[in-house]
Structure 1
Amino acid sequence: MARRFRSGLVVGKFAPLHLGHEWLIEEAHQQCERLYVLSWSLPELPGCEAERRERWLAARLPHIQCWVLTPQRVAQWRREGLALPELPDNQDAPELQRQFVADFCLQVLGEKVEAVFTSEAYGDGFAAHLGRCFDQPVQHVELDRARQRVPISGSRLRADVHGLREYLAAEVYGDFVERIALLGGESTGKSSLSLALAKALGTLHVAEFGREHWLARSGQLTYGDLLHIGRTQVAREQSLAGRARRYLVCDTTPLTTLFYCREQFGRAEAELEQLAERPYRHLFLCADDFPFVQDGTRQDAAFRHRQNVWYAQQLQRRGLPYRLLTGSLSARVAQVLAYLQITSA
């Protein structure tokens, strides 16, 4: 099918990238042989930093050439001799922002685009400015300015990302879900707590893959199994986060896997060490303050206590704040819920 334009451009903050953005970009792509998507925000908007936007665009629009710009990246191009101005601030005059886009097209893309696609009133002026810089007409293609296709905006989403989650793809919404991580030695009620918390919060929990894998291997794990466990635990978090509701309860973290790897083999792969540094929004350590229960797969109360001491030391060494949960299952659920209410206030 013949395309209407040889090349076209979509520019936006995409903070966050929502389904309305995706619709506009896909519609533009249908009309262009080559479509370029350009994104920047200065300053960055909370939760929508450049690294995230780059990841969202790559995940949702892998067939389209997308550029996420930062002052550092622009500075590097300038050092390499490209005639680019500094990245404009969000509050800079429209002419400065339009001129930057024109220079970017000429210097980085090496192409004078024929069309710009927007759903905004500024599109005509934007296209006219590019046309003057390129010494050729640039057409503004306006798509659904009334937002009838996808009735949402970035500012509304930033104000209520959880209440308006239906306008975000799972890959995007998952980055706004707060991970609740539970740590604790054997027989500290961690798995029971993760199920109870997920039910109380109306969300999902990530089961402990290490235990499942240990049972599947009849307790005979190799050194390589531990890195596989750490990777899989993180992959489970990533796959479930987009389907969770505000919170995702994580029954353990790769820090647990690191403990067992060092305990059994006296060493650990650098990748597993790095996975153990994975940040979580809320960290809780389950106290070993009730009788040890032997289910046939655990060691003993002394080992459990040593585990908990190690977790506490490691969290402190890494500068990661955590809360110690004590008492019965219901008491621990209440402690977590009270903490979340305070931190969300």
Structure 2
Amino acid sequence: MFKVAIVGVEATGKSTLAENLAKHYQTIWVREYAREYLTRLDRKYTFDDVLTIAQGQQRLITKAIAQNPSLPIIFVDTELLVTHIWCEYVFGRHHSWIAENLSKQNFDLYLLCNTDLPWEYDVLREQPSLEKRKEIHKLYEFYLRKLHFPYELIEGKAEQRLLSAVQAIEKHFKFSDKNFQNGDKV
């Protein structure tokens, strides 16, 4: 099974891309746990909430892989790199659990969504400034290189973004479309 992580700054189309790729390849995608968690939270999130989110995301990923071992590919909407950078940028420090487990991740490919989409308001989003979003994007590039994680930059709007991602996937993996099963979010 190929495991593809979709990462990047907020409002770069990660969730939409994960869902669209799952439909394209007729497989599953693992949703972003942070959105679910923060929507239920009745206060401002804390440093420790980000750890809880990271651990919740890891549980979803582990469960999806365990329940679908015969799938040729799955997509994951955010993972530990996202929470690691989130902690660094918002709180100026890292959780040791996230840092330790980040280095052990084994995704076959990371799709790094660029900041070329316009920021759209969402109650959970915090960074409308394109300058700050580009600054955070540079952190993604830094860590992907530092950790030697294979990645491709994904750009474009709507269909072009999906096409960019499909081309990146086809560049890295060889598999037959007939192996894919019905796709949905888990």
* TM-score interval, smaller chain: 0.7 to 0.9
Deviations 1:116-158 (A, max 9, x none): xxxxxxxxxxxxxxxxxxxxxxxxxxxxxxxxxxxxxxxxxxx
Within 2, Cα distance between the matches of 1:254 and 1:318? 12
Partner of 1:205: 29
Give the equivalent residue in structure 1 for 2:107: 280
Aligned with residue 260 of structure 1, among 75, 78, 86: 86
Q: Which residue of 1 aligns with 2:95?
A: 269
TM-score by length of structure 1 reads: 0.46
Query: Within 1, Cα distance between the matches of 2:151 and 2:43?
Result: 30
C-alpha distance in 2 between matches for 1:313 and 1:204? 29
- Cα 1:219–1:204 shift into 2, 3 Å: farther
Which of 137, 143, 163 lines up with 1:334 in the alignment?
Answer: 163
Structure 2 equivalent of residue 242 of structure 1: 66
Query: Equivalent residue for 2:2?
Result: 178
Q: CA deviation at 1:201?
A: 0.9
Cα contact 2:89–2:136 (8 A) shared by 1 = no
For this pair of structures, how many residues does the alignment match?
A: 169
Structure 1 runs (4+) deviating above 6 angstroms are none
Q: How far apart are the structure 2 equivalents of 1:342 and 1:261?
A: 32
Report the counterpart of residue 137 of structure 2 in structure 1: 308
After TM superposition, list the pairs within 5 Å mapping 1:1-345 onto structure 2.
Answer: 177-218=1-42, 220-244=44-68, 245-277=71-103, 278-298=105-125, 299-300=127-128, 301-345=130-174
Q: CA deviation at 1:223?
A: 2.3
Q: Report the CA distance between 1:267 and its aligned residue.
A: 1.9
Residue deviations 1:54-107 (CA, integer Å, cap 9, x gap): xxxxxxxxxxxxxxxxxxxxxxxxxxxxxxxxxxxxxxxxxxxxxxxxxxxxxx
**In 2, are the aligned partners of 1:284 and 1:325 still within 8 Å (CA)?**
yes
Note if contact 2:38-2:124 (Cα within 8 Å) is conserved in structure 1.
no
Deviation at 1:219, TM superposition (A): 5.5
Instruction: Give 5+ residue unaligned stretches, structure 1.
Output: 1-176
Greater relative contact order, per chain length (Cα 8 Å cut-off, separation 6+): 2
Aligned partner of 1:317: which letter? K
- Paired-residue identity, %: 26
Using the size of structure 2 for normalisation, the TM-score is: 0.83
